[in-house]
């Protein structure tokens, strides 16, 4: 598994639960570092007395005519069940309860949604899901986690086999070259199935809500290997990113969902000129409206105003946002928040089907790195975490089924990495480097922890110390 966000963790969990040996790689030092733990708003569940078709129609409306109805239907039919079965019942993510009825989950509404159907943990939903999932995945005996491990190239039979006639075999992925950031050495890691979960590419833009690490690694890896990439030009800009000298910070869609309004510097609303829903317009329209207003007025930003809400309620509902912005001199209980649109989400990516399969045999892609057709030209708020859960779960299950089938997994002899500058060659033969092929390798947003001699073992590996991992 390459990547340690929700998509990669979901796939790793499903594969490991079924008995697969999983190597989970992340290029981050901390497995928690991913786009997932930055997600503030929530995850789609189900509205009261809602039919799946209602969610399908909201997804299609937001996607500007370019969403796949098949993908939207899959999300609407499978998503709520998986949220309940995995996140709520199996893992116990502590979603907020309704103040009126603590026996029920608190449902909120966000821009583009026709009804309240989103559950959350304060304004730190992604962080709560990530921490809970990491705790379970890293404790699983079938999962080995490696930090500071960057996938630099996917291994394929056509490009990396030392047997020249392998070029005539069907294109298949057999693992990845992995960089150990601690030693600077690169070596091949072989896997029966490889799953990319590397996240998005917002880091290539000047203004983005993404972490710097979201730079499109997985798309580059897959494209170089021969994978079909779709709709890479469709980048969603989030309409409400905090304008601050030290960078852009996401302001959750939920702030608008809970009554926040977009205004100009004089406090005048202008969103009704662009969409009947006003400040609750879908992201693409809201971002364009704010940008157009900035051009017309010559102002450097617009503003998000939620000061009409009780201060204590705001601090309880949005503790993370309140604290973050107070550090920057903005009290959202009294001050309007200066906002600008910023690159937020890649609606395109590696083309996959409903199981996360790519056009390369034994290579899967899940999460933001993939293009399932769900988002079309514009992602509906809070669909990203649910897409990660649905497609990650399905890819992990299907990868296991492939491994358990009667198929033969061919592993060619792979050349050692050639170090052009130093003339070094040959991989370290410790740690993962000489481990027999893993069942599943997670390649992802944090090209995850594979076989690297000096990669620090995860704390769960009690007693290993600095000894070779395997």
Q: What are the DSSP calls for 113-154, one per residue?
A: -SS--EE-STT-HHHHHHHHHHHHHHT-TTEEEESSEEEEEE
- Residue that wins the pLDDT comparison between 451 and 298: 298
Give domain 236-344's CATH architecture.
Answer: Alpha-Beta Complex (3.90)
Measured distance CA(347)–CA(373) in Å, rounded: 8
Strand partners, 24: 145, 442
Tell me if residue 283 is catalytic: yes
Non-local CB neighbours of 408 within 8 Å, separated by 6+ positions: none
**Would you say residue 230 has pLDDT above 80?**
yes
- 443 pLDDT band, cuts 50/70/90, is very low
For residue 353, pLDDT over 90 is answered with yes
Question: What Cα–Cα distance (Å) separates residue 326 from each residue in 71, 126, 390?
Answer: 40, 21, 36
Give CA–CA dist 13/331, Å, rounded.
Answer: 40
SS3 309: coil
- Helix or strand (DSSP H, E) at 222: helix 217-225
- H/E element holding 305? strand 302-305
Contact between 251 and 337 under an 8 Å Cβ cutoff? The reply is yes
Span 295-322, pLDDT tens digits: 999 999 999 999 999 999 999 989 888 9
Residue 315: closest CA among 37, 306, 35: 306
Q: What was the pLDDT predicted at 446?
A: 38
Residues 6+ apart with CB under 8 A from 226: 156, 158, 171, 359, 360
What lies within 8 Å, CB to CB, of 73 at 6+ separation is: 52, 56
Which tokens sit at 224? 């170089």
* pLDDT value of residue 429: 38
Q: For 398-404, what is the mean pLDDT?
A: 97
CATH 3.50.50.60 at 6-232+347-444, yes or no: yes
Residue from 46, 248, 283, 394 carrying the catalytic annotation:
283
Tokens at residue 384, please?
């990203």
Q: Which of 118-122, 169-173, 231-235, 239-243 has the lowest mean pLDDT?
A: 239-243
Q: What is the β-pairing status of strands 185-197 and 363-365?
A: parallel
Distance CA 313, CA 292 (A): 33
Judging by beta carbons within 10 Å of its beta carbon (0-12, 13-18, 19+), is residue 274 exposed, middle or buried? middle
> Binning pLDDT at 50, 70 and 90, where does residue 437 land?
low
Domain boundaries for CATH 3.50.50.60 within the chain = 6-232+347-444
Q: Are strands 185-197 and 438-444 parallel, antiparallel or unpaired?
A: parallel
Indicate the range of 6-10, 140-144, 282-286 predicted with least confidence.
282-286
- Model pLDDT for residues 86-126, shown as the tens digit of each residue: 999 999 999 999 988 999 999 999 888 999 999 999 889 99
Intervals of CATH 3.90.700.10 along the chain: 236-344
Question: pLDDT tier at 176 (50, 70, 90 boundaries)?
Answer: very high
Torsion angle in degrees (nearest 10) through CA of 260, 265, 268, 269:
-50
pLDDT over 80 (residue 445)? no
Q: Reduced to 3 states, what is the DSSP secondary structure of residue 310?
A: coil
Q: Is 426 exposed, middle or buried (0-12, 13-18, 19+ CB in 10 A)?
A: exposed
């Amino acid at each position: 598994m390459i990547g340690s966000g929700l998509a990669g963790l979901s796939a790793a969990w499903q594969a490991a639960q079924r008995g697969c040996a999983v190597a989970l790689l992340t290029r981050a030092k901390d497995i928690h570092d991913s786009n997932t733990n930055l997600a503030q708003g929530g995850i789609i569940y189900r509205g009261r007395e809602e039919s799946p078709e209602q969610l399908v129609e909201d997804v299609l409306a937001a996607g500007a005519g370019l969403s796949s109805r098949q993908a939207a239907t899959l999300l609407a039919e499978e998503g709520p069940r998986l949220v309940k079965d995995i996140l709520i019942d199996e893992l116990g993510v502590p979603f907020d309860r309704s103040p009126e009825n603590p026996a029920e989950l608190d449902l909120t509404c966000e821009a583009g949604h026709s009804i309240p159907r989103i559950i959350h943990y304060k304004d730190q939903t992604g962080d709560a899901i990530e921490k809970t999932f990491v705790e379970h995945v890293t404790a699983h005996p079938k999962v080995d986690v490696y930090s500071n491990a960057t996938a630099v190239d996917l291994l394929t039979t056509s490009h990396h086999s030392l047997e020249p006639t392998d070029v005539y075999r069907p294109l298949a992925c057999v693992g990845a070259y992995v960089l150990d950031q601690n030693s600077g050495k690169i070596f091949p890691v072989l896997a029966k199935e490889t799953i990319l979960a590397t996240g998005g590419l917002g880091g290539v833009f000047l203004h983005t809500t993404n972490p710097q690490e979201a730079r499109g690694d997985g798309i580059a890896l897959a494209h170089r290997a021969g994978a079909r990439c779709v709709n890479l030009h469709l980048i969603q800009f989030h309409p409400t990113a905090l304008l601050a000298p030290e960078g852009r910070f996401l302001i959750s869609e939920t702030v608008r969902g809970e009554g926040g309004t977009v205004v100009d510097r004089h406090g005048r609303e202008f969103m009704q000129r662009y969409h009947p829903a006003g400040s609750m317009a879908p992201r693409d329209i809201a971002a364009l409206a704010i940008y157009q207003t900035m051009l017309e007025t010559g102002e450097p930003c617009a503003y998000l105003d939620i000061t009409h809400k009780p201060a204590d309620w705001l601090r309880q509902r949005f503790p993370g946002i309140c604290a973050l912005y107070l550090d920057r001199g903005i009290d959202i209980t009294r001050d309007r928040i200066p906002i600008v649109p910023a690159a937020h989400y890649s609606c395109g990516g590696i083309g996959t089907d409903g199981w996360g399969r790519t056009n390369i045999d034994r290579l899967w892609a899940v999460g933001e790195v993939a293009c399932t057709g769900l988002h079309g030209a514009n992602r509906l708020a809070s669909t990203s975490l649910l897409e990660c859960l649905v497609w990650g779960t399905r890819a992990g299950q299907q990868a296991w089924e492939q491994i358990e089938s009667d198929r033969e997994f061919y592993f060619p002899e792979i050349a050692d990495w050639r170090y052009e500058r130093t003339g070094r060659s040959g991989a370290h033969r410790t740690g993962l480097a000489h481990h027999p092929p893993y069942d599943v390798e997670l390649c992802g947003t944090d090209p995850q922890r594979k076989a690297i001699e000096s990669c620090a073992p995860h704390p769960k590996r009690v007693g290993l110390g600095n000894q070779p991992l395997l």
